[in-house]
């Protein structure tokens, strides 16, 4: 039995040595020479060109020892990764600053409906908040003993003036009585009707002074109302205020009278132009924010109080700026780079300096020249591919 085991070991040992030698030789060839790998399956590494045994894609040449931040993609790989390029050119670029804002009611659109005479609220025709009313619509009716007495005084003064038409004193008393009725919300037509009918009317109906929405009710039907007492509050939404939050260090970028853009979620295609009317000099209570304010015409009542909006403030305009889409720029810590196609199918990382930026494009102040072919979509895939193949972050070439 021992002889048999010894014989088996002698047979296996040479095979193991040959296998180890092959692996050592293959590993040396992979490390020291150009290798080929699959972009989708990096675990596949071959010393010669070919196809991936998993997905069938062409293997790509990889040299892990080079410091050159370049990649080579075949046409099929490029289409699969959705790599698109564009020629670098100059153009007008306006950077903007987005501020968070909200819609608030314009105080000029608030109307308090009050009673000009004391009395009992006999009829309340609008009993719910949120109800729209039109100018001239009767809102409530009051029974007022004071109004009845003033009307009686007016009738007495009218009788005395008619009996002594040459007496200026009686004429003055009549005019004073008439003015008191007018001050207590009696129209000239109502005063004339009292004189013609020679009968008092203690009821006075109050029409809506303006069109709007009932925002608040202060009384109930049958309640006694004092002279000057508030009955309801009306709000109009034909013109609203837009308020936005501004940090103190951003206030220098905005000036009174400047034109800004206002948009709201769900109304992205309905951005409106607004003029900055006021910048609050004091900070908001409990915060480090200033308030920017402007008024906005609100035909159709699309903007409602309480709605969140975005205010776009233009901060800089450059007539000859080089810009790229935001997604074309790869940011890594304190540096940034883009990918350029310097030859068909060959890409390299290029370090750049960034300038102003908006939601769609970024200004490139250094690193690109007019005529360069830059990758505008798929840059992150190239970035990931480089890290996968090279095992490090592309530093990018510098332009001095």
Q: Is residue 187 part of a domain?
A: yes
Tell me how far apart the alpha carbons of residues 259 and 251 are, in angstroms, rounded to a whole number.
15
Let me know whether 216 and 135 are in one domain.
yes
Least confidently predicted of 144-153, 200-209, 242-251, 384-393:
384-393
Let me know whether 124 and 228 are in one domain.
yes
Let me know whether 198 and 143 are in one domain.
yes
Q: Is residue 2 part of a domain?
A: no
Q: Is residue 12 part of a domain?
A: no
Spatial contact of 151 and 199, defined as CB atoms under 8 Å apart:
no
Let me know whether 207 and 196 are in one domain.
yes
Tell me how far apart the alpha carbons of residues 274 and 30 are, in angstroms, rounded to a whole number.
65
Query: What is the domain-level CATH number for residue 245?
Result: 2.40.30.170
Single residue among 177, 211, 235 that ends a domain in this structure: 235
Strand pairing partners for 340? 348, 374
Let me know whether 35 and 83 are in one domain.
no
pLDDT band at residue 57, thresholds of 50, 70 and 90?
Answer: confident
Tell me how far apart the alpha carbons of residues 136 and 139 are, in angstroms, rounded to a whole number.
9
What's the pLDDT at 383? 86
What DSSP character marks residue 285? T
Average pLDDT over residues 92-117: 87
Residue 109 reports pLDDT greater than 80: yes
Single residue among 235, 270, 296 that ends a domain in this structure: 235
Residue 22 reports pLDDT greater than 70: no
Query: What is the domain-level CATH number for residue 82?
Result: 2.40.420.20
Residue 351 reports pLDDT greater than 60: yes
Taking the C-alpha atoms of 139, 140, 141 and 144 in order, what is their torsion angle to the nearest 10 degrees? -120
What DSSP character marks residue 241? E
Phi, psi (degrees; rounded to nearest 5) at 9: -60, -40
pLDDT band at residue 249, thresholds of 50, 70 and 90?
Answer: confident
Least confidently predicted of 87-101, 107-121, 158-172, 343-357:
87-101
Q: Is residue 201 part of a domain?
A: yes
Least confidently predicted of 34-48, 84-98, 299-313, 369-383:
34-48
Q: 272: closest CA among 315, 250, 240, 246?
A: 240
Tell me how far apart the alpha carbons of residues 135 and 123 are, in angstroms, rounded to a whole number.
18
Single residue among 209, 235, 261 that ends a domain in this structure: 235
Tell me how far apart the alpha carbons of residues 13 and 31 are, in angstroms, rounded to a whole number.
27
Structural domains of the chain, count = 4
Average pLDDT over residues 188-195: 86
Average pLDDT over residues 189-206: 86
Q: How many CA atoms lie within 13 A of 72 on its CB side?
A: 10
SS3 251: helix
pLDDT band at residue 80, thresholds of 50, 70 and 90?
Answer: confident
Let me know whether 210 and 122 are in one domain.
yes
Let me know whether 226 and 133 are in one domain.
yes
Q: Is residue 5 part of a domain?
A: no
What DSSP character marks residue 252? G
What DSSP character marks residue 283? P
- Tokens 């790869």, residue? 330
Spatial contact of 240 and 103, defined as CB atoms under 8 Å apart:
yes
pLDDT in tens, 201-237: 888 888 898 999 999 999 999 999 998 899 999 999 9
Residue 111 reports pLDDT greater than 90: yes
Element (H, E) at 394: none
Global confidence as pTM: 0.55
Taking the C-alpha atoms of 347, 349, 350 and 353 in order, what is their torsion angle to the nearest 10 degrees? 140
Domain limits for position 122? 113-235
Residue 21 reports pLDDT greater than 70: no
157 versus 398: the higher-pLDDT residue is 157
pLDDT band at residue 47, thresholds of 50, 70 and 90?
Answer: confident
Let me know whether 103 and 242 are in one domain.
yes
Let me know whether 200 and 120 are in one domain.
yes
Q: Is residue 16 part of a domain?
A: no
Average pLDDT for the chain: 82
What's the pLDDT at 95? 72
Residue 14 reports pLDDT greater than 50: no
Q: Is residue 120 part of a domain?
A: yes
pLDDT band at residue 394, thresholds of 50, 70 and 90?
Answer: confident
Element (H, E) at 350: strand 346-351
Average pLDDT over residues 123-146: 92
What's the pLDDT at 65? 57
Let me know whether 88 and 102 are in one domain.
no
Residue 376 reports pLDDT greater than 90: yes
Query: What is the domain-level CATH number for residue 153?
Result: 2.40.50.100
Let me know whether 354 and 279 are in one domain.
no
Burial 4-35 (b: 16+ CB within 10 A, else e): eeeeeeeeeeeeeeeeeeeeeeeeeebeeeeb
Tell me how far apart the alpha carbons of residues 212 and 182 are, in angstroms, rounded to a whole number.
25
Q: Is residue 9 part of a domain?
A: no
Pairing, β 346-351 against β 290-297: unpaired
Spatial contact of 237 and 109, defined as CB atoms under 8 Å apart:
yes
Residue 140 reports pLDDT greater than 90: yes
Let me know whether 43 and 84 are in one domain.
no
Residue 32 reports pLDDT greater than 60: no
């Amino acid at each position: 039995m021992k002889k048999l085991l010894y014989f088996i070991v002698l047979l296996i040992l040479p095979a193991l040595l040959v296998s180890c030698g092959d692996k050592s030789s293959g590993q040396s060839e992979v490390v020291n020479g150009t290798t080929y790998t699959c972009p989708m399956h990096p675990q596949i590494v071959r010393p010669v060109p070919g196809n991936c045994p998993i997905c069938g894609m062409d293997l790509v040449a990889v040299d892990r020892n080079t410091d050159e931040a370049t990649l080579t993609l075949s046409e099929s790989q490029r289409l699969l990764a959705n790599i698109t390029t564009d020629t670098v050119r100059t153009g007008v670029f306006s950077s903007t600053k987005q501020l968070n804002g909200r819609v608030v009611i314009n105080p000029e659109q608030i109307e308090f409906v009050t009673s000009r005479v004391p009395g009992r609220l006999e009829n309340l025709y609008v009993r719910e908040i949120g109800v729209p009313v039109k100018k001239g619509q009767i809102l409530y009716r009051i029974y007022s003993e004071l109004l009845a007495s003033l009307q009686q005084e007016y009738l007495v003064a009218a009788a005395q003036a008619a009996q002594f038409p040459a007496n200026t004193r009686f004429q003055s008393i009549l005019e004073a009585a008439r003015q008191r009725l007018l001050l207590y919300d009696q129209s000239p037509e109502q005063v004339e009707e009292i004189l013609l009918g020679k009968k008092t009317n203690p009821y006075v109906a109050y029409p809506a002074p303006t069109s709007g929405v009932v925002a608040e009710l202060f009384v109930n039907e049958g309640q006694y109302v004092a002279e000057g007492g508030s009955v309801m509050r009306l709000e109009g939404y034909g013109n609203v205020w837009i308020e936005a939050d501004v940090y103190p260090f951003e206030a220098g970028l905005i000036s009174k009278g400047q034109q800004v853009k206002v948009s709201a979620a769900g109304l992205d295609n309905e951005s409106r132009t607004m003029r900055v009317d006021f910048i609050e000099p004091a900070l908001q209570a409990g915060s480090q924010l200033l308030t920017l304010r402007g008024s906005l015409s609100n035909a159709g009542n699309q903007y409602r109080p309480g709605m969140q909006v975005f205010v776009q403030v233009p901060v800089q305009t450059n007539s000859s700026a080089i810009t790229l889409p935001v997604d074309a720029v790869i940011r890594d810590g304190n540096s940034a780079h883009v990918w350029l196609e310097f030859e068909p199918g060959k890409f390299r990382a290029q370090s750049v300096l960034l300038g102003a930026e908006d939601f769609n494009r970024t200004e490139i102040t250094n690193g690109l020249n007019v005529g360069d072919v830059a990758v505008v979509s798929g840059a992150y895939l190239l970035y990931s591919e480089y890290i996968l193949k090279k095992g490090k972050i592309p530093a990018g070439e510098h332009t001095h």
